Amino acid sequence: MTTFTKTPRNKVKRGAKRATYDVETVHAILDAGFICHIGFVVNGQPFVIPTAYGRVEDRLFIHGSPASRMLKTLEQGIDICVTVTLLDGLVLARSAFHHSVNYRSVVLFGPAHKVDDVEEKTQALKAFTDQVIPNRWLSLRPMTDKEVKGTTVLSLPITEASAKVRTGPPVDDEADYALPIWAGVLPLRMVADDPISDPKLPDGVTVPDHVWHSGYRH
C-alpha cells in the first residue's frame, strides 16, 4: 500500500490542497515526532490526552501504567483519534489576516488493542525509547520481567490516516505586495542545550555520542 484509502473520517475537507494520503509521508512525520494527542469519548465526555508514542512499521504504540484511566478505557477497543503536529515556522504576512504557520501534521483513526505478547511488547518499548533518543535502548540495562509486566502497551494500526503540510512564504493580497512591510518565514525547530549529567553518576561516566549527537542538537 502506497496511499491510505480516503474515508469519511480521514478525508481532509478544510485546506484539502495541503492534504496527502501518501504512506511514506505519514510515516516520516510520525518518525520526526514523539508526542501525540489522543482524543476519545467516555459516556459523552470528550478527552484529549498528550502522551509519547513509538512507531514500528504500520503500528503506533502508546504505553503507560496499568492504572492509567486512559489506557484502561482505550484497551476496550473504542475508536480514538490520534494527532501529531510538528511546527516548522511562523509565516508572517503583510496583514494579520494572512499570517499562518508552516507545519506537518498527521491524524489517525481506529481502535487500539492491548499488547500481551512479550516479544511484541518489548519491541514496542524499544520503539518508545528510540523514538525520543535514537540508539538509546542498546545503551541501557535490559528491562526486567517485572517492569515489562508492569507496563501497559497498546497498538493502533496505521490504516486510516491523512497528513497535512504547509510550506513556503506568506500568501498576501496582490495589492499588499508593494507595501513597505517585512514579510517572510521565521523558521522554528526544537533545540537541546548541553546535557546535564546526573550528580549520582560514577566517576568516569561521560555523555554518550547518541545524546551529544541527537537530532535536537543540530
Assign residue 21 the CATH number of its domain. Answer: 2.30.110.10
Residue 7 lies in a domain: no
Q: What pLDDT score was predicted for residue 1?
A: 80
Nearest alpha carbon to residue 130 among 74, 56, 58, 39: 56
* pTM tops 0.85: yes
Q: What pLDDT score was predicted for residue 217?
A: 52
Residue 3 lies in a domain: no
Residue 39 lies in a domain: yes
- Are the CB atoms for 56 and 127 separated by under 8 Å? yes
Residue 1 lies in a domain: no
Q: What pLDDT score was predicted for residue 77?
A: 93
Residue 52 domain boundaries: 16-217
Q: Which residues of the chain have pLDDT under 50?
A: 218
Nearest alpha carbon to residue 11 among 156, 158, 162: 162
- Number of helices (H), then strands (E), belonging to the chain: the values are 5, 11
Residue 6 lies in a domain: no
Residue 8 lies in a domain: no
The number of domains in the chain is 1
Residue 196 lies in a domain: yes
Residue 2 lies in a domain: no
